[in-house]
Amino acid sequence: MAWNVLFLCTGNSARSIMAEALLNHRGAGRFRAFSAGSHPKGQVHPLALETLEHAHIPAEGSRSKSWDEFAAPDAPRMDFVFTVCGNAANEVCPRWPGGPTTAHWGVDDPAAAGGSREEQVHAFERAMRELDARITLFTRLPLDSLEKGALQESLAQIGQLATNEPQ
């Protein structure tokens, strides 16, 4: 059985797209990841795709889409829903069928990074490292045997993980 995981962000153009690709790659068939946004930009940020490509993480078929797709009756039933940006965490989310376990894993928005191309690339790489570290910890959890309270606590702790890298 594969666990279904939805990563949410406001624009669904960078962080949630990278998280989806990372979990689908790192999850080794144990997870099926999806991503969506409350106000999708309609296109994936080119640096998100470039960052994934440089890390050899497949991202074919990535697209910016609304979270409404996943609240529809015929949508895959989610086991987990993670918000990866502050805005989506504070918005009123749709009611997800099946009552998935939720957590907030906030990551700074690399698409909002200004400066030179090098500084922008660094912001995307930093976001991906942070997401990858959290996803790696998540994939190591004994999901079949953890009691719901312990699982929720573990997911919250993963969300507090810092990269300890200077900005």
Q: What is the DSSP letter of 94?
A: P
Pull the structure tokens for residue 27.
Answer: 């999850």
**Catalytic position from the list 85, 89, 123, 131:** 85
Element (DSSP H or E) covering residue 138: helix 117-140
Which amino acid would we find at residue 74?
Answer: D
Other C-beta atoms lying within 10 Å of the C-beta of residue 148: 8
d(CA 119, CA 117): 5
**Does 9 qualify as catalytic in the annotation?**
yes
**Does 85 qualify as catalytic in the annotation?**
yes
**Does 17 qualify as catalytic in the annotation?**
no
Instruction: Give which of 92, 124, 72 is closest to 8, Cα–Cα.
Output: 92
**Catalytic position from the list 6, 9, 23, 128:** 9
Catalytic residues: 9, 85, 93
